[in-house]
Structure 1
Amino acid sequence: MTSARLSRGATLLTVVALLISTVGDEVALVALALRGADRTGLTSVVSAQMLAGLLPGIVLGGVIGRIVDRFRLDVVLGVTLVLECLIAASAAAFADGAVLLIATMLFLGALGAVAQTCVMALVPRLFPASDVQLRVNGVMESTRNAGYIVGPLLVGLLTAQGGTGLALAVDAGTFAFALLAVPVITQWLAARAVPLPPTVDTPPAPAEGAKGGLRVGLSLLWTGPQRRAALATITVTVASTSVVNVLMPFFAREIPGGAASYGTLLATWSVGLVVGPFVLRGRLGKQPTAVVAVGAAAIIGLGYVVTAAFLVLPVMLAACLCGGMANSVQNVALRTHVMADCPQDVRGRVGAAYGATLQSSVAVGFALAGLAPAGWARWGILAGGAVAFLAGSLGWLRTRALTAPAPAGANESVPAVRVSEERAS
């Protein structure tokens, strides 16, 4: 089998597997939340489930990063999918009480964080060229967001037919299907002639640069003035827009058309998430990724400002479509910027630190939203969107100023590679 054919086949299967496993993640989240509400009748249990799914990526970031860096990526991903399959199948039969429901979400959240870190480390390893990484990350972002749309719809259909037990059983099947991609990834890594680290049976002795966990990942993640400017901007905008996400259901009372229009707005944002990465295939894709990421963050904030300021449904729909597209562009550009210049032996820790940073920002936004009265939802959305727009605009100016003109034939990531390698040595 030629490497070109293997590359195309592996890409297709990996994308399909990602879509299926993402659908599985959403099925698990929604089905377990529905079961928690049905079996306990307590909002506190559902809230605890949501937090349990979020916290492992923050608290266990160092451990996850070391695991991904220490062992073979295909092995780690395969074991993770097997465990997700077993836990989802067990939850279908046994997870009824509050403790088991919260524990199930905790384990699935931890395993999901491992899988996401594996994917972040795999992309630059399989696609060394930064422009190719951007396209692949764009395809994966669209695929992942499509899963977010399909997942809840599937839960509704399955729950109506056979309850949450059927939904969780199908969820286990999605993870089993995703395992089909693991042997292909193994062959692909070999075909690319990229040396794999030893298996779990023969762990390597850690080099000096491979020691440490989340602290090392964070120090490398925040290396360089441009990266610090971009990440600082994104953390502020993510926290402020997370406040908006909490307030949006209360804002539904003020929208013309009520809950039906609110659902349409959410669906439109989701459509924007799917189609957004395709705009990176044009001139925008040739711009520095840090600049694109923070510029997109400003557009997200502007989208929320327009949505809350003009209660005219066509205007709100257009704002949500643009905001959703900018949301996915931000994700793709920032992920590519972070991982493209990262030394191979620390990609797991940098990826875990990246995930922990963003999830911490989300958690801060969720906590701040609890301080806003429900009756002030519209003003809270305006304020959160305005903060994101201002922070993104200032960040865009700052990152543009820090983007040094590259010589012909070079890409923007070369200086950062040298800095990262010096820090890791």
Structure 2
Amino acid sequence: MTSVRLSKGAALLAVVALLISTVGDEVALVALALRGADRTGLTSVVSAQMLAGLVPGIALGGPIGRIVDRFRLDVVLGVTLVLECLIAATAAAFADGAVLLIATMLFLGALGAVAQTCVMALVPQLFPASEAQLRVNGVMESTRNAGYIVGPLLVGLLTAHGGTGLALAVDAGTFAFALLAVPVITHWLTARPVQLSPAPDPAPPPAAEVDETATETETTGQEPHEAAKGGMRVGLSLLWTGPQRRAALATIVVTVAATSVVNVLMPFFAHEIPGGTASYGTLLATWSVGLVVGPFVLRSRLGDRPTAVVAVGAASIIGLSYLVTAAYLVLWVMLAACLCGGMANAVQNVALRTHVMADCPPGVRGRVGAAYGATLQSSVAIGFALAGLVPAAWARWGILVGGAVALLTGSLGWLLTRALTASAPTDGSVSVPTLQVPEEKAS
């Protein structure tokens, strides 16, 4: 009974903390962008801020993964939240010039990447069963997406009454509040009985191998120091292990790049929408509603379908939704497409994250999580760069092409992933090969 109470209490607090910290991430992003536009008047500064928030997750994936694998997850998460709090508070008072604004986004982007990697490593540590991971990832995805809705609204309210300084001060408070989850996570990690640890398909090691090292791993959630050798290369090699995993990830990389092009072009497409920018805002809000609702639909409809197949299928639906949005300029059709697209977007995130977590060895979860984040962020960056080649007047055609590419790639990837899954060993809702750490590459 103690373990059940710990699970429910820690899960609830972790979700609340995630919501609060996600709101903080969005408050920081929007408030710093507004301050950059207000204090400098240069679009190049705001653009540089956005890139500064994205680059650390790509460039620092190796060091971030090693840090998460080497040290206790609760300690790393706690230190990260403290630093985010201090940086946000400092920015509220001192970040005025372009250099300081960009530097602030750079530091917050790096710390945000660390926090996300910690979460990816924590979920399988605290919820070993794949079904439980799917449920928890679904709740966390809905919570995170709710934060994306609340954050900008909160910034607008705070900025109207106290400027961006007040918004950033409240942002610091959100990170401080999220620290309340750290002691509970620490207690859960140290108090969790050994029998709640993962029970993967491979046979357990001989009794002679279960010594103090195994005990340390169970209580801290980490492998010994030597296990943290290697960085992004190890994470990427494990992330892309197996034909099914490669097929799924390759499909996601292409579809994310294609839809990232669409994301950049959508504001230029706004004047062609019936109702103009007001309707455009409604479309964005509808997509956000789909992001929140999607994981709950996944929980009730997934059944025993393999998560890799679900993730790739959702990618094709996202492409279809953008294609319909640009092809049929009828508001109710566009709203329906955005709702479905948002739901598919959330389902893709949950299913893919669960698929990556399912068979990841405990000692390399940080590096695999960092490699996963860097892979997706690189795809987004490629899409942003490609969008810069499309003339603004061709925005609608660019959206049509991007949606079509995502739909076609997702459909072909779905067929391939489904065929590979049918020939792979199953493990409930997850069908993936068992990962082995490449010792020769980990030095």
Tell me the TM-score normalized by structure 1.
0.95
Identity score, percent: 85
Q: What displacement does 1:340 show?
A: 1.0
SS in 1 for 2:438: helix
For residues 424 and 344 of structure 1, do their structure 2 counterparts lie closer, same or farther at Cα, with a shift above 3 Å needed? farther
For 2:404 and 2:428, locate their aligned partners in 1 and report how far apart those are by CA, in whole Å: 33
Deviation at 1:211, TM superposition (A): 1.9
More deviation, 78-87/210-219: 210-219
Aligned to 1:371: 389
Question: Which residue of structure 2 lines up, in the alignment, with residue 353 of structure 1?
Answer: 371
Tell me the CA shift for residue 424 of structure 1: 5.2
Tell me the number of residue pairs that the alignment of Structure 1 and Structure 2 aligns: 419
Measure, in 2, the Cα distance between the counterparts of 1:346 and 1:152: 35
Alignment of 1:93-112 (within 5 A): 93-112=93-112
Q: How far 1:192 moved relative to its partner?
A: 1.9
Match of 1:335 in 2: 353
Q: Which residue is 1:264 aligned to? A: 282
Alpha-carbon shift at residue 423 of structure 1 (Å): 3.4
- Please show how residues 89-238 of structure 1 align to structure 2 within 5 Å: 89-193=89-193, 195=215, 204-207=224-227, 210-238=228-256
Tell me the CA shift for residue 413 of structure 1: 4.7
Task: Give the stretch that moved more between structures: 187-196 or 256-265.
Answer: 187-196
1:411 to 428, 439, 442: 428
1:47 match: 47
Could you give the per-residue CA deviations for residues 65-107 of structure 1, whole angstroms, max 9, x where no partner exists?
Answer: 0000000000000000000000000000000000000000000
User: Alpha-carbon deviation of 1:286?
Assistant: 2.0
Corresponding residue for residue 265 of structure 2: 247
8 Å contact 1:406–1:412 — kept in the other structure? Answer: no
Q: Which secondary structure state, in structure 1, belongs to the residue aligned with residue 49 of structure 2?
A: helix
Q: Is 1:421–2:439 an aligned residue pair?
A: no
Equivalent-residue separation in structure 1 for 2:236 and 2:425 (angstroms): 29
Structure 1 residue 399 corresponds to structure 2 residue 414: no
Amino acid at match of 1:65: G
Say whether the 8 Å CA contact 1:117–1:351 is kept in structure 2: yes
Which residue number in structure 1 is paired with residue 75 of structure 2? 75
Deviations 1:280-305 (A, max 9, x none): 22242420000000000000000000
1:217 touches 1:352 (CA, 8 Å); kept in 2?
yes
Question: Distance between the aligned counterparts of 2:7 and 2:156, measured in 1?
Answer: 36
Distance 1:413 1:329, change over 3 A: closer
Q: In structure 1, what is the Cα distance between the partners aligned to 2:293 and 2:376?
A: 22
Flag structure 2 segments of 5+ consecutive residues without an equivalent.
195-214
- Contact 2:425 / 2:433 at 8 angstroms: preserved in 1? no
Please give the secondary structure, in 2, of the residue aligned with 1:80: helix
CA contact (8 A) 1:304 1:323 kept: yes
1:15 corresponds to which letter in structure 2? V
Structure 1 pair 341–424 and aligned structure 2 pair: CA distance change class (3 A): farther
1:314 alignment partner in structure 2? 332
In structure 2, the CA distance between the partners of 1:304 and 1:185, relative to structure 1 (3 Å rule), is same
Q: Which amino acid aligns with 2:18?
A: L
For structure 1, the 5+ residue unaligned runs are none
Matched residue type, 1:245: N
* Per-residue deviation, 1:193: 3.0
Instruction: Supply the distance in 2 between the matched residues of 1:71 and 1:242 (Cα, whole angstroms).
Output: 34
- Alpha-carbon distance in 2 for matches of 1:103, 1:335: 30
User: C-alpha distance in 1, partners of 2:78/2:297?
Assistant: 33
SS in 2 for 1:206: helix
2 CA distance for matches of 1:122 and 1:218?
Answer: 19
In 2, Cα distance between equivalents of 1:160 and 1:308 = 34
Contact 2:27 2:154 in 1 (8 A): yes
Once residues 402 and 423 of structure 1 are traced to their aligned partners in structure 2, the CA distance between those partners, rounded to angstroms, is 23
**In 2, Cα distance between equivalents of 1:412 and 1:405:** 15
- Partners of 1:170 and 1:377 lie apart in 2 by 37
Partner Cα distance (2:366, 2:303) in 1:
25
Deviation of 1:388 after TM superposition, in Å, equals 0.2
Give the structure 2 partner of residue 296 of structure 1.
314
Task: Give the conservation status (yes or no) of the 8 Å contact 2:421–2:431.
Answer: no
Contact 1:72 1:197 in 2 (8 A): no
* Alignment root-mean-square deviation, CA: 1.9
Local SS of the residue matching 2:436: helix
Classify 1:256/1:121 alpha carbon distance in 2 versus 1 (closer, same or farther; 3 Å). same
Structure 2 counterpart of 1:325, one-letter code: M
Equivalent residue, structure 2, for 1:30: 30
Pairwise CA distance, 1:279: 1.3
**Paired position in structure 1 for 2:3:** 3
Whole-angstrom CA distance in 1 between matches of 2:419 and 2:31: 47
- SS of 2:422's equivalent in the other structure is coil
Q: Structure 1: which amino acid aligns with 2:255? A: T
Superposition deviation, residue 411 in structure 1? 3.1
State the alpha-carbon separation in 2 of the partners of residues 319 and 59 from structure 1: 35
CA shift for structure 1 position 312:
0.2
Q: Tell me the CA shift for residue 172 of structure 1.
A: 0.2
Shift of 1:188: 1.1
- Structure 2: distance between partners of 1:308 and 1:203: 50
Question: 1:413/1:197 Cα in 2 relative to 1: closer, same or farther (>3 Å)?
Answer: same
Q: Is the 8 A contact 1:341 1:414 kept in 2?
A: no
C-alpha distance in 2, partners of 1:238/1:406?
Answer: 26
The letter of the residue matching 1:423 is P
8 Å Cα contact 2:130/2:429 also seen in 1: no
Cα offset, 1:406, TM superposition: 6.8
TM-score, with structure 2 as normaliser: 0.92
Contact 1:279–1:285 (CA<8 Å) still a contact in 2?
A: no
Task: Name the CA distance, whole Å, in 1 between partners of 2:376 and 2:85.
Answer: 26
